[in-house]
Amino acid sequence: NDPPTLVNPGNYSVNEDTPLTLSGYTITDADSFSRDVTVTVALYADAAHTTLADAGTQGALTITSTTGLSASSGSGTNTVTLTGPLADVLAALNALGFQGAADFNNGPLYLRTTFTDWGHADVPAGNSVSVDNTITIVPVNDAPLLTVPGTQTLAAGSSVAISGISFQDTKDTAQGASDAFYTVTVLAPNAGDTLAATVSGTASSSYNAGTQTLTVSGARTDVIATPANLVYTPQDSNADTTYTL
Backbone dihedral region of 164: left (phi > 0), alpha (psi from -120 to 50 degrees) or beta? left
Instruction: Check: pTM over 0.75? Answer yes or no.
Output: yes
SS3 state at 149: coil
Residues 200 and 186 sit within 8 Å (Cβ to Cβ) = no
For 241, phi then psi, to 5°, come to -155, 175
pLDDT in tens, 155-205: 777 899 998 888 888 888 877 788 889 999 999 999 999 999 999 999 999
For residue 167, which amino acid is it? F
pLDDT score, position 82: 98
Phi, psi angles (nearest 5°) of residue 89:
-65, -40
pLDDT surpassing 80 at residue 125: no
